[in-house]
Amino acid sequence: MTRSRPIRDALIHMVRLMLPKPTAPMVDMTGRRVLVTGASKGSIGFSVAKTLAGWGADVVATCPYGRIPWRS
């Protein structure tokens, strides 16, 4: 019965996708100004800019397409 193994592997994969992802510990960035390059939507730079802004930093973000889709 080798047919059940792909199904089992798919279920294990789906469960792992649903588990909480590790995050960086919060850092007090109040009063700091940060420049993030490459902050186009969906990129790592975009996620970094949002995280730093959430930690209280004044974020200046750039994007190669000229417009950043998120502003606070």
Q: What backbone torsions phi and psi does residue 32 show, to the nearest 5 degrees?
A: -105, 145
Q: Tens of pLDDT along 48-66?
A: 999 999 999 999 998 887 6
Q: What are the helix (H) ranges across 1-72?
A: 4-18, 44-54
pLDDT digits (tens, 9 = 90+) for 6-48: 888 999 999 988 988 888 889 999 999 999 998 888 889 988 9
Q: What is the pLDDT of residue 68?
A: 61
Work out the average pLDDT over 65-69.
65
Report the chain's terminal Cα–Cα distance, integer Å: 55
- Tokens at 71, concatenated: 């502003």
> Could you tell me the residue ranges of all domains in the chain?
4-61
Q: Please check the confidence at residue 67 and state whether its pLDDT lies above 80.
A: no
